[in-house]
């Protein structure tokens, strides 16, 4: 990772820049889901990935420095499938990245927005990331021309998902896989902390972007293709009945509810072979 390159005293000046378009891209991918994946097996297939789920192209200076943040609870099989597909995908793109998993360990109602805020805060302590990807655990990209870097606008990457017949469900849709530069994320005050359960937080985030006079950009539909792993509604992530009510006042609340009011403790931080794991302490400890 960056630390080792720093230890070698290699800087941006010692390596040529990576090309604008990586020569390793293969375009449309045949995505399949092997049974019984293990961490060791995935790690063996990705020998260049370093402890904690870091990667940096060895022979050129990456154009993108990206943290991938995955909100997570009790989806082990999905996580393994995502790691199995995402590591090779990102390496072919010649980007510098780390995969972070933010784990809600308690049995309380799931809170995706808050987990993403925790992930942002902790990831930025680890490195000066230029681009943050917020990535559902169950979305597998199907075309590596969907490059995980940031542009000048907030990015919505999951344009065409099999679950929605590969069509955008509605124009302001901002679910699944999205990316922001840290400056833009801070400008919108991060994500709401008070959406408990399923739904609405993605529309709130989109609203925050529009309220700050920014726009969403998307990759071409042919690139932004994903398969969603099959699942029902998780226990502890029941549909949030307050979501429409909350959404109707985003314009009033966004300044006072977000990264500037985030309150949490980390229970642990650990580096595994394929990702860095942040476990948020149970709710009573915040
Ligand atoms: C949609 C959105 C998602 C989010 C959600 C509403 C798409 C493709 N995705 O997902 O971004 O806005 O609606 O909250 O439209 N998770 C766990 N464990 C749980 C519950 C959730 O790990 O027990 C994580 C996991 O990363 C999952 C994500 O939260 O992918 C979203 O939850 P979901 O997959 O159950 O909801 P879905 O597919 O309707
Ligand atoms: Mn899902």
**Minimum CA distance residue for ligand 1 atom 9:** 176
**Minimum CA distance residue for ligand 1 atom 6:** 199
Q: Which helix (H) or strand (E) holds 246?
A: helix 243-247
Q: How many CB atoms lie within 10 A of CB 256?
A: 9
For residues 284 and 30, what is the distance between their CA atoms, to the nearest angstrom? Answer: 45
Which listed ligand is nearest to 164 at the C-alpha?
Answer: 1
How does DSSP classify residue 221? T
Q: How many CB atoms lie within 10 A of CB 242?
A: 13
Which tokens sit at 103? 């784990």
Answer whether residue 40 shows pLDDT above 70: yes
Q: Supply the pLDDT for residue 284.
A: 74
Answer whether residue 149 shows pLDDT above 80: yes
Within 6 A (CB) of ligand 1 lie: 70-75, 110, 112, 136-138, 158, 161, 175-176, 198-199, 201-202, 228, 234, 236-237
**C-alpha closest to that of 68 among 195, 157, 174, 6:** 157
pLDDT digits (tens, 9 = 90+) for 67-109: 999 999 999 999 999 999 999 999 999 999 999 999 999 999 9
In the chain, which ranges are E strands? 54-55, 65-72, 96-104, 131-135, 139-141, 155-156, 160-161, 177-180, 225-228, 266-271, 276-280
Query: Which atom number of ligand 1 is nearest to the Cα of residue 202?
Result: 12
**Interface confidence: ipTM more than 0.95:** yes
pLDDT digits (tens, 9 = 90+) for 7-32: 565 677 889 999 999 999 999 999 99
Asked if 140 contacts 229 with a C-beta cutoff of 8 angstroms, the reply is yes
For residues 172 and 190, what is the distance between their CA atoms, to the nearest angstrom? Answer: 18
Confidence label for 286 from pLDDT (cuts 50, 70 and 90): low
Which tokens sit at 41? 């097996």
Which listed ligand is nearest to 162 at the C-alpha?
Answer: 1
């Amino acid at each position: 990772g960056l630390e080792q390159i720093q230890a070698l005293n290699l800087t941006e000046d010692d390596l040529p820049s990576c090309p604008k378009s990586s020569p390793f891209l293969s375009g449309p991918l045949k995505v399949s889901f092997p049974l019984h994946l293990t961490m060791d097996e995935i790690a063996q297939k990705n020998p260049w990935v370093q402890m904690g789920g870091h990667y940096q192209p060895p022979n050129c200076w990456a154009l993108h420095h990206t943290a991938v943040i995955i909100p997570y609870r009790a989806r082990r099989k999905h996580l393994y499938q995502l790691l199995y597909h995402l590591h090779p995908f990102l390496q072919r793109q010649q980007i510098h990245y780390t995969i972070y998993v933010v784990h809600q360990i308690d049995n309380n109602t799931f809170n995706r927005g808050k987990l993403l805020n925790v992930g942002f805060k902790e990831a930025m302590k680890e490195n000066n990331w230029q681009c943050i990807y917020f990535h559902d655990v169950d979305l597998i990209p199907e075309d590596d021309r969907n490059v995980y870097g940031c542009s000048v606008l907030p990015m919505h990457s999951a344009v065409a998902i099999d679950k929605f017949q590969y069509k955008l469900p509605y124009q302001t849709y901002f679910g699944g896989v999205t990316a922001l530069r840290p400056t833009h994320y801070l400008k919108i005050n991060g994500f709401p902390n008070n959406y408990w359960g399923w739904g609405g937080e993605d529309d709130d985030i989109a609203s925050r972007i529009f309220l700050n006079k920014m726009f969403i950009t998307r990759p071409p539909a042919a690139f932004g293709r994903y398969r969603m792993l099959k699942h029902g509604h998780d226990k502890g992530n029941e549909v949030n009945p307050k979501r429409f009510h909350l959404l109707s006042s985003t314009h009033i609340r966004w300044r006072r509810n977000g990264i500037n009011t985030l309150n949490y403790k980390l229970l642990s931080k650990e580096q595994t072979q394929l990702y860095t794991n942040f476990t948020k302490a149970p709710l009573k400890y915040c």
